[in-house]
Amino acid sequence: MITPATKIGYISSSKDEAGKETYEFIEAKIKRINVGKRITSIHTNKFHALDIEDIESNTKIITEHKIMLVNEPFITNDEYSERCRKTVKYWNEHGALSIIEECD
């Protein structure tokens, strides 16, 4: 369950001028939760409105399949945030393969 004490995590990816992909882990505190008739949205100190269903779905994927999602928000805690920081550091130093690339 998401509460105002919950943190949202996000791993962003971008390419530099040389074409090298770089990653950044972003962690955000929830500022408010808006419960509407059709959608419940979360506002954080770093992101605009995020759909709570998307965040919960992404978190379920991460938990059940033991994978990391890039460019998708998820619920995080101190332990998982540290794991994300270490993984992002490794990816920036050594590169990252996607699941699709591993299957080829």
Domain residue ranges in the chain:
7-103
User: pTM for this structure?
Assistant: 0.83
Residue linked to tokens 């332990």: 79
Q: Compute the average pLDDT of residues 72-82.
A: 93
Tokens at 62, concatenated: 């991460």
Determine the average pLDDT of the residues in 10-14: 95
Of 98, 82, 102, 99, nearest to 21 by C-alpha is: 98
Q: What is the amino acid identity at position 69?
A: L
| Residue 18 clears pLDDT 90, i.e. is over it | no
d(C-alpha 47, C-alpha 49), whole Å: 7
Q: Is the pLDDT of residue 99 over 50?
A: yes
Residue 15 has pLDDT above 60, yes or no: yes
